[in-house]
Amino acid sequence: MITETVASAPLDSRSRRLRELVIDALEGGKRGHVGSTLSLIEILRVLYDDILKVRPSEPRWPDRDRLILSKGHGCLALYAILAEHGFFPHVELAKQCTPNAMLGGHPERQHIPGIEASTGSLGHGLSIGIGLALAARMQARPSRVFVVMGDGELDEGSVWEAALCAAKHRLGHLTAIVDYNKLQSYGPISEVLNLEPLADKWRSFGFAVSEVDGHDVSALRRVFLGLDYSHPQPKIVICHTVKGRGFDFAEHQAKWHHKAKVESADVALMRAALERW
């Protein structure tokens, strides 16, 4: 059982690098979901660095694994890792949310290489993932499907309808992931709509459950590499994270969920926070 006290592992150079790219995007676009992005970085880092079979030079390669960022508001983390893997040039990051930019405030499949679904309206990613997983089975493709959800997103009833469907169809090549930072847009999960016992809920819906510190890169790697994708039971990995992780002034702070206006002083504060690592 993972406790709520997580993120004891220090940020290494790669995690700091990804956060620097996020800062570049925030500085260029002058807005963005800060806290929701920072809790997600290590999860996406491990998936793209060590787990997913994708081809940046061929984003629509038919046999690729699919990743859906259902919590689309955390897209700056995904943009940073996609740029690092060569899906598009780094220069695009600083243009996000500016006129005619490729990158917007939520991921769009038709505009951004590497994006599998346009998301932002919460609660739909798992259903889309189930459709992709069923298609892969029908077409006898080896593709695995990963769906990253936020904890506040689990308030949506559509998530649990999809969970029932995934278990019914025995989608062993489907892995759901929860970024469990325990703080949604306007307050603690425990006060807004308590999810506990979260692991038991998913077990009761027929999922094989794993829990992990979502900022511990080595632990994340062990969990994802250890999943048995040949087993017909769908999987879920509950990643215990810290909202705002890496910027000490933003950690556990709901006011940093989204910044509608990022000032130069905010950017300086962020860069200084990274230097303290």
Q: Which of 249, 78, 231, 71 is nearest to 147 (CA)?
A: 71
Instruction: For residue 6, give the 3-state DSSP assignment.
Output: coil
| The predicted structure's pLDDT at residue 185 | 87
Instruction: Say how many C-beta atoms besides its own lie within 10 A of residue 131's C-beta.
Output: 13
- Residue 32's DSSP bridge partners are 259
- CATH class of segment(s) 13-275: alpha beta
Give average pLDDT by consecutive 10-residue segment, the chain, 277 residues: 57 97 97 96 98 98 98 98 98 95 96 97 97 98 98 98 98 98 93 97 98 97 96 97 96 91 96 94
d(CA 103, CA 97): 6
**How far apart, in whole angstroms, are the C-alpha atoms of residue 69 and residue 174?**
14
Residue 126: name the closest of 193, 171, 87, 82 by CA. Answer: 171
pLDDT of residue 143: 98
Token pair recorded at residue 175: 């892995």
Whether 20 contacts 274, CB under 8 Å: yes
What are the residue ranges spanned by the domains of the chain? 13-275
Residue with structure tokens 């940046």? 56
Tokens describing residue 66: 């699919």
User: What pLDDT does 6 receive?
Assistant: 59
**pLDDT score of 222:** 98
